[in-house]
Amino acid sequence: MNVGVCALVAAAAAWALTPFMLRCATTPSPLLGRWLQVPIAAVLGGLAGLAHSWAEMLVFVVLAVAGALLTVIDFAEERLPDLIVLPLIGITAALLTLAAWTTGQWGSLGRAGIAAVVLFVLYFAMMVFSPDLGFGDVKLIAVVGLFLGWFGWGAVVIGACLGWVAYAIPGMVRMFTRRPGERGSLPFGPFIILGAVVGVFWAGAFLPW
């Protein structure tokens, strides 16, 4: 029941925040008007079934909604708006602190903070040498580090690595099949989010709690 409720809440929030999403965008891309954020939020919100407390469930729902909005915007214009990403860092940290306070998992909170810093520094260094990474991706990985770090280092490693693997395969296909005049790159943000989904799902399925 929690899965269905969280999926519906996330989908409804994504629908209600559609005007906000459109204000965050800078181009009139047709992709922005297809309501794709609603089913994406519902699917991501359904992952709240892996939560072990109501506070963790809040984290899942908030990140599901934000992840859906960012996915659509990034695919539409290859940009992750600060108006969404920057507050999300603070909101995620606050909600995980609430989760630690209600469950006593202060060690998990500390690991989440360390994971966020480690991934932020690593991706910032990679951004200097990789044209595929933007500073928006670097800021988003800090959010993902907080989220995955809460569940364990295995989730962090799996999530970070799977994001790159998921990006590399369609990226190479796109590079060799694009038509003249089409952009050959793909936005990296949605694949960071996909990696996080796989990482937390793997942690929930295979790691001891």
Residue pair 61/6 in contact (Cβ under 8 Å)? The answer is yes
Residues 123-157 have pLDDT tens digits of 999 998 877 788 999 999 999 999 999 999 999 99
pLDDT at 130: 77
pLDDT at 205: 55
Q: Count Cα atoms within 13 angstroms, Cβ side, for 90.
A: 5
Question: Can you tell me the distance from the alpha carbon of 191 to that of 71, in angstroms, rounded to the nearest whole number?
Answer: 9
pLDDT at 48: 87
Query: 3-state SS string over 80-128?
Result: CCHHHHHHHHHHHHHHHHHHHHHHCCHHHHHHHHHHHHHHHHHHHHHHH
Residue pair 111/159 in contact (Cβ under 8 Å)? The answer is no
Query: How are the residues of the chain apportioned to helix, strand and coil, as percentages rounded to the nearest 5?
Result: 80, 0, 20
pLDDT at 204: 65
Residue pair 199/160 in contact (Cβ under 8 Å)? The answer is yes
Residue 67: is its pLDDT beyond 90?
yes
pTM here is: 0.90
pLDDT confidence tier of residue 33, bands split at 50, 70 and 90: confident
Exposed (0-12), middle (13-18) or buried (19+): which is 153, by Cβ within 10 Å?
middle
Share of the chain above pLDDT 70, in %: 89
pLDDT at 49: 82
